[in-house]
């Protein structure tokens, strides 16, 4: 009884002194984007909600801008248990779980609403569970906008306009083949080198969301942005399975609840920030243009035939059939 009394006195004194008892679990969340990026904002939202839902028993420190390594490095560190949380493109996770390549297929989703339905479906819940086979705990699906072509040469309206253009892509066979099928030449370039590569002519452009295009200042070297909308970009927040297994059930539940809230928060936050950036890009004189999406979708059929056959039977149809 005396020990309990002394513990209570110590807690009161700490509170009076403005000190908060140390959390039971202290984790690190390694991110790759800037402090202002919606994904970093989502990481901090997630960390805050976990702290609230756990009653302060879990503390998550967020480290943006590749402070804890690039995506592949962070994923490997997470598998080894030396990093607790990170967020990566599904194309990166495909190196560890090949079926993740399904999210790189061009024109997989029917739009943003279909994306939201898919990430909440049994298909994606199963993929989250399957990640545990490689030492990874899936936490939340992250929306990353609609990927489109931008370049320094000309507007793109149809596949014929892509001829001769070298377009930067991540180092992923599906995405390289997608740009080639669209009529250009896919060239893998490290994310940090895109700006310089466009400015020096190593590539003519790249493909990504308008938010990424604005934030990375690619609009300074590639003035033509064409709405090919060839991919609704799917990213995923992941956790070390080792770190997850250290948590008691009630704290695992807190992480799960915060994860679902983060998915919804991020989707709305992304669209809000992207709308602001699009206005800024228009004020800069960026040449936006619509494209013949049906022509691009038709041109990309060989990509589905080649890479779809390498995916588990029925996986593509199960995604397409989500309502």
Comparison of pLDDT for 95 and 277, the residue scoring more: 277
Evaluate whether 74 touches 68 at the Cβ level (below 8 Å): yes
Evaluate whether 121 touches 65 at the Cβ level (below 8 Å): no
CA nearest 49: which of 246, 262, 239? Answer: 262
Which CATH number goes with the domain that contains 253?
3.40.190.170
267 inside domain: yes
Tell me what the mean pLDDT of segment 165-176 comes to.
94
15 inside domain: no
176 inside domain: yes
CA distance 62 to 45: 10
The pLDDT of residue 192 is 84
With 90 as the cut, is the pLDDT of residue 18 above it? no
3 inside domain: no
Classified as helix, coil or strand, 199 is: helix
List helix spans (H) across 182-248.
194-199, 210-215, 241-246
Output the average pLDDT for the chain: 93
With 50 as the cut, is the pLDDT of residue 125 above it? yes
Domain count across the chain: 1
16 inside domain: no
The pLDDT of residue 303 is 97
pLDDT band per the 50, 70, 90 thresholds, residue 217: very high
CA nearest 236: which of 28, 31, 18? Answer: 31
73 inside domain: yes
Question: What is the domain extent for residue 260?
Answer: 22-320
With 90 as the cut, is the pLDDT of residue 191 above it? no
198 inside domain: yes
**Count of positions (residues) in the chain:** 323
Burial label, 48 (beta-carbon count in 10 A; 0-12, 13-18, 19+): middle
The pLDDT of residue 1 is 39
The pLDDT of residue 20 is 55
pLDDT tens-place string over residues 39-93? 999 999 999 999 999 999 999 999 999 999 989 899 999 999 999 999 999 988 9
Residues 6 or more apart whose Cβ sits within 8 Å of residue 182 = 106, 149, 159, 162, 228, 230, 296, 299, 300
Tokens 């038709």 map to which residue?
Answer: 298
172 inside domain: yes
pLDDT tens-place string over residues 234-268? 999 999 999 999 999 999 999 999 999 999 999 99
CA distance 128 to 120: 11
- E strands in 101-135: none
pTM of the shown model? 0.89
């Amino acid at each position: 009884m005396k020990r309990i009394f002394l513990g209570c006195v110590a807690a009161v004194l700490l509170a009076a002194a403005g000190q908060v008892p140390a959390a039971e679990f202290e984790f690190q969340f390694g991110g790759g984007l800037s402090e202002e990026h919606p994904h970093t904002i989502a990481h901090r939202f997630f960390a805050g909600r976990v702290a609230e839902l756990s009653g302060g028993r879990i503390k998550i420190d967020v480290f943006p801008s590749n402070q804890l390594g690039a995506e592949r490095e962070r994923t490997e560190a997470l598998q080894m248990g030396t990093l607790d949380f990170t967020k990566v493109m599904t194309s990166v996770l495909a190196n560890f779980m090949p079926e993740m390549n399904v999210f790189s297929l061009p024109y997989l989703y029917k739009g943003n609403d279909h994306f939201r339905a898919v990430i909440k479906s049994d298909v994606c819940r199963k993929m989250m569970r399957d990640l545990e086979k490689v030492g990874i705990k899936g936490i939340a699906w992250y929306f990353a906008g609609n990927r489109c072509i931008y370049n320094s040469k000309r507007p793109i309206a149809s596949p014929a306009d892509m001829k001769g253009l070298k377009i930067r892509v991540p180092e992923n066979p599906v995405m390289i083949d997608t740009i080639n099928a669209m009529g250009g030449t896919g060239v893998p370039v490290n994310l940090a080198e895109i700006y310089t590569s466009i400015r020096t002519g190593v590539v003519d452009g790249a493909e990504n969301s308008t938010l990424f295009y604005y934030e990375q200042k690619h609009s300074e070297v590639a003035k033509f942005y064409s709405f090919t909308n060839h991919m609704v970009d799917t990213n995923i927040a992941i956790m070390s399975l080792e770190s997850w297994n250290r948590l008691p059930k009630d704290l695992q539940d807190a992480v799960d609840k915060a994860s679902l809230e983060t998915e919804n928060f991020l989707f709305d936050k992304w669209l809000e920030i992207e709308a602001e950036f699009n206005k800024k890009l228009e004020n800069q004189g960026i040449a936006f243009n619509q494209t013949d999406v049906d022509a691009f979708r038709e041109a990309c059929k060989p990509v589905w035939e080649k890479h779809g056959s390498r995916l588990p039977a029925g996986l593509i149809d199960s995604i397409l059939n989500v309502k």
